[in-house]
Amino acid sequence: MSRNFMETEKVARMAVLLKQKGFEVRVVPDLCEMAEDHKEALKTLEGTTVMACHERAVRALLAWRGVQAAEVLNLRTQTVEEVAAQSGVTLEEVSEELLEAYCRELANFPTDQGHDAWFPIIDRERCVSCGKCHDFCLFGVYSLDEDGQVQVTDPHSCKNNCPACARTCPQEAVIFPKHEFAPINGGVQQQEMAMKIDTKQLYNEALRERLAARRAGISLLKKK
Ligand code: SF4
Ligand code: SF4
């Protein structure tokens, strides 16, 4: 992962607290990457409590792969105390030794594998199947299924840091969990800056890429 919204110490403290209480705990480096590339591993989260980012984003991410968590708690913006209270876990001192061991383990998570799992997910509770996100994206990230419903079928083709299609959605149903601001990251608070997206520039950029690819194809043909 190339960006991390979770403080290592906070995640480690929560993990140790739960372990001390006898819960089985698994910490993963990047839930988006797991959903994108490790569907089978993601399925093991069915019926569990998942502590990650904004609930709407996490539920939509899991639902994309047909997984339903029993509970989703937001460790991105909430404190350990708040999350513990929500999950009914009583706070207690955690073992410093275990805490250090967890911090070391988390610090050793892979941070740059050349791929940052960045792609849109659709909040089905909000989507009205208007198709605008599908029509806007020139990179084939979306496709339509036989019922005319938009599906994210090629997440790897999404342009890193481009959240453009989210802004075309009339329902705020397109989520990029790793975006900094709500509502694009699935957060409920309207904290997004008044960032005016230059859609014309985005189209031009995309078109330039397509034309370059086409030209490359033509010159290859000519050489034959
Ligand atoms: S633009 Fe929004 S409402 Fe329309 S199909 Fe895409 S996600 Fe659904
Ligand atoms: S963010 Fe950009 S590249 Fe990614 S799906 Fe949306 S329009 Fe396509």
The domain that holds 135 is classified in CATH as: 3.30.70.20
- Per-residue confidence (pLDDT) for residue 214, from 0 to 100: 52
Is residue 180 domain-resident? Answer: no
The reply to whether 89 and 143 lie within a common domain is no
- Co-location of 96 and 17 in the same domain: yes
Q: Give the closest residue (by CA) to ligand 2 atom 8.
A: 137
| Residue 80 within any structural domain of the chain | yes
Residues with CB under 6 A from ligand 2: 120, 136-137, 139, 141, 158-159, 162-165
Q: Is 35 a domain residue?
A: yes
* Dist. CA 155 → ligand 2 center (Å): 9
Domain limit, last residue, from 107, 139, 156: 107
pLDDT tens figures, 93-134: 899 999 999 999 888 887 656 678 999 999 999 999 999 999
In a domain, 150, yes or no: yes
Shared domain for 101 and 171, answered yes or no, is: no
- Sorting pLDDT into bands at 50, 70 and 90, what band is 148? very high
DSSP string for residues in the chain: -----S-HHHHHHHHHHHHHTT------S-HHHHHHH-HHHHHTTTTSEEEES-HHHHHHHHHHTT---SEEEETTTS-HHHHHHHTTPPP----HHHHHHHHHHHHTS---SS------EE-TTT-----HHHHH-SSS-EEE-TTS-EEE--GGGSPTT--HHHHH-TTS-EE-TT-SSTTTTS-SS---------HHHHHHHHHHHHHHHHHHHHHHHHH-
Mean pLDDT lowest for which of 33-37, 44-48, 185-189? 185-189
78 and 159 assigned to the same domain:
no
Query: Is the residue at 187 inside a domain?
Result: no
Same domain, 142 and 94: no
CA of 162 to the centre of ligand 2 (A): 6
State how many domains the chain has.
2
Q: Are 71 and 102 members of one domain?
A: yes
Q: Assess whether 159 and 215 both reside in one domain.
A: yes
Distance 134 CA to ligand 1 centre (A): 8
Domain around 153: 121-175+194-223
**pLDDT tens digit string along 70-102?**
999 999 999 999 999 998 999 888 999 999 999
Q: Is the pLDDT of residue 136 over 70?
A: yes
Cβ(17) – ligand 1 distance below 6 Å: no
Are both 90 and 144 inside the same structural domain?
no
Per-residue pLDDT tens digits for 163-212? 999 999 999 999 999 999 999 999 986 544 434 445 556 556 656 655 55
CA of 203 to the centre of ligand 1 (A): 18
**Shared-domain flag, residues 42 and 17:** yes
